[in-house]
Amino acid sequence: MPHSRRYRSSERSSRGSYRERYRSRKHKRRRTRSRSSSSARERRRRREASYHVRSRSYDDHSSDRRAYDRRYCDGYRRNDYSRERGDAYYDAEYHHSYEYRRSRDHDGSYRSCKSSRRNKHRRRRRRSRSFSRSSSQRSRQSSRRAKSVEDDDEGHLIYRVGDWLQERYEIISTLGEGTFGRVVHCVDHRRAGTRVALKIIKNVEKYKEAARLEINVLEKINEKDPENKNLCVQMFDWFDYHGHMCISFELLGLSTFDFLKDNNYLPYPIHQVRHMAYQACQAVKFLHDNKLTHTDLKPENILFVNSDYELTYNLEKKRDERSVKSTAIRVVDFGSATFDHEHHSTIVSTRHYRAPEVILELGWSQPCDVWSIGCIVFEYYVGFTLFQTHDNREHLAMMERILGPIPSRMIRKTRKQKYFYHGRLDWDENTSAGRYVRENCKPLRRYLTSEAEDHHHLFDLIESMLEYEPSKRITLAEALKHPFFDTLNTEPSTKVWDSSRDISR
């Protein structure tokens, strides 16, 4: 949102010194003063001295507040603040000038003191009017801008269909909403009317900082893959719109999760699972090759390029079933992506796709993405989440039920000894939670829906991705050579998507 005029600390001190020189000149001209005039002058000096003291205390508070904002953002991103990236976007003067205005409003202006002499009073009034006139003009401009750009109580930008942003993006409709903000469908009038997805971040510092970090990653991706061959979403543009970070992307279809949900959680056919899994491995391998870990892979963050579908009616189940026409996908949401050289926070990934080394706080790296892909591919195949839980101990119990015992080396090294007793998972199968795990989880191979060879190849790949030990887990370079993908090029429905195709809709 727009603000009224801000003053630097140096500017404030120059204004103060000007007033001191002004008073000293008057003192030389008028050597005789009444006792009341001297006392008034002393009171005025005390007020101004106290005003500057309060201003400094506000500035100190402001620097503490900036540090707090960074910690707050860290909690959201689950990463330490990156000085190399963050400072370029951070307005170091913002809080400082805001607090200065507030202190001036609380303590009163230097023009509040009255003079006993008429000519002095007139001079002060002239100076006061000139200052007030410019201030009122700025306030009128601010009020006009404030009326045109408004936020709701949660920090979302208030907009209407047909609004323009940056004299470039015309809003067509709302595509979705999340905790970070909203995604809108826009026409980019500087790109020959191309349809784009514009991500409008809330005017909340922690989400804005996460957006700045995502922009940094997306710029690196664009630099390394200018032709967009590696299946990561392409960023076209970004800008700050009155406190809202906005990112312009290529317009894509539904997420693979939303399509699954809209299709009554009907699993994807195995030939579609094969193509989608191959592309996911290819995209994330590109990130790993460039020393990046996504850290938040899930079906919601894998989108179809075009989610148009064919509709058929299932007589046996008496329902319509959708089959997506093209399984070309893009990986999105790089707000939590972490470079190898950056600090690795303790907890990453959405719960259901979180690797065991993350739960046990053994440290993580790129293999945690491979675990997430294994969970995702399983979900595509069966239509539901492999680890449906919200508790660490139960999550580990599900892993043991599905994948076998946790390796003793990992148990010995973890700081989370509260989950174990005498080297084994502390878990009672006779409790309600124990019965739930026993009834709803089974060994991985028992989820096979067919004994065909390609189904067994798929589960062999999933098993190698869900290896407990990160060092023994399959890499994505190895995964792309797995026998499950051998028949990929012979299936007409998995033809490589033409990336030059106009996806505007």
Active-site residue list? 296
Q: What is the DSSP annotation of 101-116?
A: HHHHHHH--GGG---S
309: which strand partners? 324
Annotated binding site: 199
Q: Residue-wise over 11-36: b if at least 16 C-beta within 10 A, else e?
A: ebeeeeeeeeeeeeeeeeeeeeeeee
Residue entry with tokens 């089974």: 442
Annotated binding site for ATP: 199
- The three-state secondary structure class of 332 is coil
Dihedral of CA atoms 119, 125, 131, 133 in degrees, nearest 10, equals -130
C-alpha separations of 291 from 221, 288, 370, 460 in Å: 11, 5, 14, 27
**Closest by CA position to 336, among listed 307, 306, 300:** 300
**Closest by CA position to 183, among listed 171, 165, 166:** 171
DSSP one-letter code for 151: B
- Tokens of residue 265, six digits: 């959680």
433 exposure class (CB count in 10 Å sphere: 0-12, 13-18, 19+): middle
Contact of 394 with 437, CB cutoff 8 Å: yes
51: which strand partners? none
